[in-house]
Structure 1
Amino acid sequence: MSKTDLPKIANIPTFTNTPPCGHQEQAWIDPLGGRIVIPHLEPANDGGFVPALPSVATRKIALRSKASKRGALVTYFGERRAVVFESHLELMTALMLIRIPGVVDLIDQPPAVLYVDHDGVVHRHTFDYLVAFADGRRWAVAVKPYERAVKKNLVSTLGLIAAQNPAFADQFHLVTEKNFSRTQVSNALLMHHISYEVDQQVDAIVGRLVASMSGTCTIADLVTAAGAGSRAYRSIVRFLARGTLSLKSGGHIRYSSIVGKAA
């Protein structure tokens, strides 16, 4: 699979309960119609707006800031719930995390953990996200700009936290802007926006086409075969989001993108 097919968080220092060795609202331009979409203001299936459940964050954040983007993203893990973010990087990270196969929940600002530093001083640390998987695994995720992470020696701090809090998570991750591209985030946002729409008629048509596929084709080819215009395009994006289809070409998800059955 290509990186654009499965938006993985790569090259993250990972600590499996052991220290490391050696010590605003986000708007999006819909490519189909040019309209501005606010991802967390999505209509209910009956056409009426149903507010999402509130965030479960244990640390309240100020939603107004002149220095960073702040707001909430709605996730759909059995129920619509708001996940707050304090920066554009946190929003991008959340979009990438919810696209990882097997993720069943994303907890924002989970309960703080205590740890003792090298000088014997006790500190509290609140992770930005706690990721829950269907098989019971949990990831604790800290999000920080790369230069700040280096300046604060956050890798070492996470190693201490992991060693002293083995029950909190199975893995401890540091995410910076170097862990993914803007293209990967753009594709993840597109899939997040479209994947929860309901269009059973067109999904059934596209599903039959996908089932009969051998080899690869462009998204435009599938749209033409489905005979449903932009509705087919959106359906194909949903199949990409579910992992039934995979991108075989790089770049943004476009009509010219090459797709095939997922391995």
Structure 2
Amino acid sequence: MSERTILFHLLNIRAGLDEEAICMGNASNNILGTRASSLEADVIWRTTSPSSASRRPSLRGRVSVRGALVDRMNGRELVFESRLERGLAEMLMARRDIRAIIDQPPAVKYTTADGRTRSHTFDFLAITTNGIRLAIAVKPAATVERSGIQETLDRIREQVGPRFADAYLLRTNQHITPDRIYNAGLILRSRRCRNESDIDTVWAIVGNLAGSFRAADVVMHSKLGARGFSALVCLVDDARLEPVAGRIGYLTSLRRVSGQ
């Protein structure tokens, strides 16, 4: 078990989140019961495709974190070489309007101010559900100026334009915040344990509420325990609810998304 998995488990315990109750909730609705669900888990294996990265970051690094995670929607490995890149990958996977994430896409060539040809490899190329391609560079905010990344993006935007992407974005720790990373991870875990019956029960409680409400109050009223909390997170994932601010937890205030 990885250190990150253990950390998430401890955070869930601290928040009062019963992981087993959430995930077993789906199995309890199965006519074959939890044992059948366990047996299925023993025989079903989804193969993960290797990363399609044009360059694979070295696993050796003195000041950065390198590794890989799995995009469960597409069943493919995604590589990263910093905590910010990993955080952004989780945030992208948690977005319903992103249908594909390409890590370390093929390098883009451009010409510098002194006429030299250079190449730049974006950290991610994300493709939205309506086909918009987003080329994303990730940098710590403190290194943006000295790295010259903004000038690089400006030149690529001008010289390459829509041949590679429809938009060229720079994302820093000002965008990839700890709260957003945490919420993305929570959404991804709740998505795996999604229970439509629980979601319907919780939506029947909050669907007509005006203003904001505490997650804990809804969970208590639903009588679903941790499964009720997971259902609330799934409603956030469905863009029917949104947190007023900060991390999603039992004490978080939520509200209906406008138009829902």
**What TM-score range do you get, normalising by the shorter chain?**
0.7 to 0.9
Letter in structure 2 aligned against 1:91: R
Which of 1 and 2 has greater Rg? 2
Match of 1:207 among 194, 198, 203: 203
Given the alignment of the two structures, is residue 175 of structure 1 paired with residue 155 of structure 2, yes or no? Answer: no
Which among 216, 225, 229 is matched to residue 221 of structure 2?
Answer: 225
Aligned length: 231
Aligned to 2:32: none
Q: What SS does the aligned partner of 1:98 have?
A: helix
Q: Does 1:163 align with 2:158?
A: yes
After TM superposition, the score normalised by the length of structure 1 is 0.79
Equivalent of 1:29, from 5, 8, 24? 8
Q: Give 1:141-156 correspondences, 5 Å limit.
A: 141-156=136-151
How does 1:83-94 map onto structure 2 within 5 Å?
Answer: 83-94=78-89
Residue type of the alignment partner of 1:196: R
Match among 124, 130, 141 for residue 135 of structure 1: 130
Distance (Å, rounded) in 2 between the aligned partners of 1:156 and 1:208: 51
Query: Equivalents in 2 of 1:152, 1:180: separation in Å?
Result: 19
Unaligned runs of 5+ in 1: 1-23, 38-43
Q: Is this contact kept in 1: 2:56–2:79, CA < 8 A?
A: no
Which of 93, 99, 111 is residue 116 of structure 1 equivalent to? 111
| 1:128–1:143 contact (8 Å) kept in structure 2 | yes
More helix by share: 2
Query: For the residues of structure 2 that align with 1:216 and 1:229, how far apart are their CA atoms?
Result: 20
The code of the aligned residue for 1:71 comes to G
Deviation at residue 100 of structure 1 after TM alignment: 4.1
Partner of 1:47: 41
Identical counterparts, % of pairs: 30
- Counterpart CA distance in 1 for 2:251 and 2:168 is 38
Matched residue of 1:195: which SS? Answer: helix
**Aligned residue type for 1:54:** P
What's the TM-score once normalised by structure 2's chain length?
0.79
User: CA offset at residue 133 of structure 1?
Assistant: 0.9
Tell me the CA shift for residue 141 of structure 1: 0.4
Question: Deviation at 1:51?
Answer: 4.1
SS at match of 2:50: coil
Query: In the alignment, what sits opposite 1:235?
Result: 231
Which has the bigger relative contact order, CA under 8 A and spacing at least 6?
Answer: 1
Equivalent position SS for 1:140: strand
Q: Deviations over 1:179-223 (max 9, x none)?
A: 243222222222222223232332232233333433332111111
Provide the C-alpha distance between the structure 2 equivalents of 1:207 and 1:52, rounded to a whole number of angstroms: 34
Q: Mind listing any 5+ residue stretches in structure 2 that lack a counterpart?
A: 20-36
Equivalent position amino acid for 1:136 in 2: G
- The 1-side partners of 2:156 and 2:3 are apart by 32
Let me know the Cα RMSD of the aligned residues. 2.5
Separation in 2 of the partners of 1:174 and 1:181? 14
